Amino acid sequence: MTESHGARPSSNKRRALILVAGLGVLLYTVAALSTDADKLRMALSQLGWLGSGLVLGLSLVNYLFRFQRWRLYIAELGHRLPTGQHLLYYLSGFAFTVSPAKAGEAVRSLYLREHGVSYPESIAALFVERLLDLLAMALLASLIVLDQLQYWPVLAAAIAITVGLLLLIGQPALPRWTSRLSARRSGRLSAALAHLTKLLQSSQNLLRPQLLIVGLVLGVIAWGAEGIGFQLICRGLQFDLSPAAATGIYAIAALGGGAAFFMPGGIGGMEVVMTSLLVARGMPLSVAIIATLLCRLATLWFAVVIGLITAAILEAQVKTRPIRSLP
């Protein structure tokens, strides 16, 4: 089958998803402004252009460090792409961060397929990326859990899930078993098991000890940068938090929001946990709500906006590119 048979429907679906994501940004921004527009404007004025730029800059640090990890994974799987174009593919996935469990970020697999990266390989890279993000957040959350013991079950659950998945996926016998099972079946089931085998093999390749440590370090730096950005927001609101406390609150709130697995981007859950933690530290509720909204606008929704822009650029490229047959 050639790409000409499937390119138009796939492109139409991507554009529909881009429109939905854009609507989500608009609705959240309206909700944020309607919560307390005057206090939100006052908070932004207190942050100033420099402070706002620093917060957004730290979010960009997060995205770039995670991209470096992603590019390392794709290279380890035997594929090297032009850096600029690869960055566009990676960032385009952020347009769909608000999908359940961020599964929509797998849209970048559609673009990578054109460069010979199979779906099992790119999905394996996405899976390992998520796994190490979970572990990095758990490590950062430990900075605050000692002071907020009621959240230790969330941290324990995150660590248990991560370790359990690492042990399961790391079993060498698992892909051998799915491969044998695939050989005994036929049709779509056999093809699905063959894809699963390749996914497991690619995941095990990316979870080798040295690569795992490098990926974890990059994840800790990336998410720690957003934690520092959250500290700057709180400082701009005249509330003093240490870098460790701010980063810990950000991380435990992210884990708490992620616990609501089907909540797109942790929307709702993360806001509740973050606001509660700030109030527990002595911040007035009205200020805590504003700090949480600013944090989410500067992290989640800033990423979605960047994703929408890069996705639009890629769609414009698709329109001007001749249709090619896939092998």
Query: pTM of the prediction?
Result: 0.84
Q: Nearest Cα to 206, choosing from 198, 215, 217? A: 215
The answer to whether the CB of 96 falls within 8 A of the CB of 107 is yes
Task: Specify the number of domains making up the chain.
Answer: 1
- 3-state secondary structure (DSSP) of residue 116: coil
**Does 316 map to a domain?**
yes
pLDDT tens for the chain, 327 residues long, are 344 444 444 566 666 666 666 676 666 566 655 655 666 677 778 888 888 999 999 999 999 999 999 999 999 999 999 999 999 999 998 887 766 556 667 788 888 988 999 999 999 999 999 999 999 999 999 888 777 777 788 788 888 888 888 888 888 888 888 888 888 877 788 888 888 898 899 999 999 999 999 999 999 999 999 999 999 999 988 899 999 999 999 999 988 776 544 445 556 678 888 999 999 899 999 889 889 989 988 998 899 889 989 988 988 887 666 544 444
Range of the domain at 62: 3-170+207-320
Measured CA to CA, the distance from residue 208 to residue 302 in angstroms comes to: 33
**Does 233 map to a domain?**
yes
Residue owning tokens 């605050």: 144
The answer to whether the CB of 91 falls within 8 A of the CB of 111 is no
**Does 102 map to a domain?**
yes
**Does 184 map to a domain?**
no
Measured CA to CA, the distance from residue 230 to residue 241 in angstroms comes to: 9
**Does 195 map to a domain?**
no
The answer to whether the CB of 62 falls within 8 A of the CB of 223 is yes
Measured CA to CA, the distance from residue 312 to residue 319 in angstroms comes to: 11
**What are 29-45's pLDDT values in tens digits?**
666 556 556 666 777 78
**Does 109 map to a domain?**
yes
**Does 193 map to a domain?**
no
Q: How many percent of the chain have pLDDT more than 70?
A: 78
**Does 41 map to a domain?**
yes
Measured CA to CA, the distance from residue 121 to residue 299 in angstroms comes to: 28
